[in-house]
Structure 1
Amino acid sequence: MAIKALKPGFRTTFWAGACAVLALLIAYAFWPRALQVEIGQVLKGELVVEVEAEGKTRVRELYVVTAPLTGHLRRIGNRTGEVVQKGDVVAVLDPSESVLLDPRSRAEAEAALTSASAALSLARAQLSEAEVVKEEAKLEASRAKVLFERQVVALSAVDAAVTNFEAASARVRAARAAVARAQSDRGGASLRLNPPRSPGKATRLRQLLAPASGKILRIHSQSETAILAGTPILEIGDPSALEVVAGFLSADAAKFHPGAEVRLTGWGGGALAGRVRIVEPSGYLKVSALGVEEQRVNVIIDFDQASADVSLGDGFRVDAAVTVWSSQETLQVPVSALFREQGSWSVFRLVDGRATLTQVSTGPQTQSQAAVVAGLSENDLVVLYPDRSLTDGQRVRARAD
C-alpha cells in the first residue's frame, strides 16, 4: 500500500513566511550600520602661520604745538587737514594779565607788605648800629697803635683792638646783606599787591610758529579760550609717512624678528604688505574684554613701498598678521580632524570604509590646517570632527551634503 506525502497547508506556509520576514527585520535592525561622518583630505601645498593682533596707524614724526605760557588763545585760523610750512604762524597767544586778588588774598598781601616793610626798617636800624660799632672799633684800634708806639700798652692790646674792628666790619657786611634781602622781600610783597601792567596789548601777543612742514592733523581747541602753560593746541605731521603700532601678546612677540612679513587688513581696503621694524623692549599690562590680564608688547610695523600711496591717515584701525613660519610645499591635515589619544595627536583615517585610529606627528599649525611630520600621506582621507562614540575599525560613510 502506497503512502501519500502530506502537503503543507496554507496556514503553515503563511506563518513560516511571516517568521522568516520577522527574523530578517530583526537582523536588519540589529545589524551594525555605517556611521555618517564628514570627510577631509590630506593635501600638500603652501602653509603660512600668522599671529594676529589689532593695531592702528600713526604718523612717524608728530609735532605738538603747546602753549608756552598761560594766557588767552586767539581763534585758530587754520583747519584740520590744511598744509603748513615750517615757520608759519599757526596760533596767537595773548599772555594773561596778573590775576586779580579777592578781598581775603588782598588782605593777606597787604599784611605781607606791612611785615616786609617792618623787616626792612629793622634791618636798616641794625645796619646803623653795626656801622656805629664799627667806627668805635676803628677809633679804638687807632688809639691802641699810638699807645703801643709810645710803649704805654702791650702788643696784645693792639691785637685785641684790631680783632674787634674786623669783627665789627663783618657785622656791618652782614647787616647790609640783611637790608638787601629785606628790600627784595618788600619788593615781592609789593608786586603781589600791585602787579605791573603792560603798556600796550599789541606788544604782548605771542605768535606760535609751526615747528615743521606738514598737515594739521588735529586741533585741540579751534575757538578762543583761556589756556594754561603746556596745554596742547594742535598737532602737525606728514600723513604720507605712516607706521603701524600693534599690541601683541608678549609670548607671540618673542617669536618676531625685524624684517618679518606682515599682512595688514581690516582698514577698509585690500590687504597691504608691511615689515616688522622693531619690537619694543618693554611690555605693558592690558585687561582684555573678558577681564583677563594680558602682558602685551608694542610692535612697530613699516609699510612696504608699494603700499605707501593708500588712503590711510593717522589713527586708523588695522589688523596686523605677522608671519612666524611659512612653507611652499608641506603636507597638511585639517585641524578639525586632530584629537588627543593617550597624550598623542591622532586622527581617524579612512581605510576600506572603516575608521582606522592613526597617531600623527604635527608641526606648525594655523586655525584651520596643521603641518604633518609623520603618520599620514598625501590624499589620505580623514574623519573631521570625530565623535566620541567613534571607535577604531568602525564602518563609516561620508555624510551627504
Structure 2
Amino acid sequence: MAKMIAPYLLTALTVLLMGGFSGCVPAGEDEPEDVVRPVKLMQIKKPSPEINRILPGKLRPQRETRMSFRVANELQSLEVDTGDYVHKGQVVARLDPRDFRLAVQNFEGSLGEARSNLKAMQEGARTEDVISLEAELRAAGSAVRESQLQYRRHKELYEQGAVARAELDRTETALEEARGRKRHLEMELQKALIGARDEDIQAMQSRIESLEAALEEAQSALQDSVLRAPFSGYIAEKHVENHENISAGQPVATLQDLTRLEVKFGLPEQLVVQKDDIKEVYCILDAYPGFPLPARLKEVSTDARELSYKATAILTMPENIRALPSMAAQVHISIAPDEDGDQLVTVPETALFTDSQGKDRVWVYDSGSSRVQSRQVRTGELTSAGVQVLSGLGAGDLVVTAGAHFIQEGQKVRPLE
C-alpha cells in the first residue's frame, strides 16, 4: 500500500516546493526567464446557441382581492357562497344599516336648523316677530317700573323697622331680574331691526360647513355598509358568517378573476442574468399535458429566495381549457444569446487580478508559445459558480485559474494535467 501512495506524494511535494520557492523572490525583482511555472487552466467554451429549461410553476389569477368593508358593524347578510360567479357591482354582503341611517337623519336635521337660523340672521326678523318683541319690551318696561315702586316702598318700611331685611332683598332681586329681561328684549329687538352681527353670521356659516362635511361622511358610511364586487369573477373563499361583528378592513370574501391567469415560478440566477435573451416562454399544465400555452414574461424579482428569483409569466388561455388557480404547470423557457454581442461566461474568483489602474484582468495562455498575456475584462456579479465576465473573453480562450498572482507578463508556464 505504501508503494502505491509514494509516487503521488512525490508529485505533490514537487509542486509545493516549486510554488514555495517562487514565493521567495523579492518584490520588484524579475524572475529568471527560464522559470516555467505550473498553472491550472480553464478553456472558455462557446455558449450553446439555445438554452432550454423547464421550471415548475403554479397558476395564479392576475386579479385577486380580499373584499372588506370600510366601516364596522354587525354583518346582516352574506349573499354569496364559495364558487359563485358575481358581476361587477353585484352586492356581496350587507351590514346592519340602522346606525348609519340614524346618523344621516340627525345630521340632516341639524343642518336644516342651522340653515334656517342663518337665513333669519341675514334677513332679520319678520314683521310679526318685531311686533311681538315690541309688545314684550313694553311689558318688560312696566314690570321694571312696578319693581322699582315695590323696592322703594320696602326700603322705606325697612328703615322704619316695619319689614325684615329678607323682604327688602327679595324686592331688590326682583327689580334686577326685571331690568335684565328688559335689556335682553332690547337687544333682541335691535337684532330683529338691523340683523345679526357679522361675526355671528360667520360663526353660523362655519357651523353649516362642519355639518355638511359630517353629513357627507355619514352618507358615505351608509353606502359603505353595502359591499359590492369591484370586478366580475368567482368567490374563491368566504372568511365570515352572518351576524358576526365585522371590523373595518376585515376580509369578508376573496374574489378572483379567472379570465386572466399567470404562472408564478422561480428563475435560477444563471437565467436571471440572461432574461433579456429569453426568446420563448410557454407553459404546459399537468391537467392538460398535450396543450402548450403561450406565455409572456411579465416580471422578475430582484430579491432571491432559496437560490432563485420570483418570476411571473402571463398566460394566453384558449376557451377550451378550464384552468384554475393553484394548478401545477411546467414553464418552458428558451434562451438564444445574441451571437454578435458579448458572451457572458463565469470564471473562478482566483482567475482575476487587478492592475495598477484598478482594472480587472486575467491571464490568457498561448499554447503556441506556452506564454501568458494579461487581458482586461469587464466583470459582473459574484455568483455561487464564480465571477461573471461580461466582456473580454471569447470561446476557446485558455484562462489561468490558479496562480494568477505569481506570474508575470509574457512568462512561460506549464499547464497542469
TM-score of the superposed pair, with normalisation by structure 2: 0.40
Q: Whose helix proportion is higher, 1 or 2? A: 2
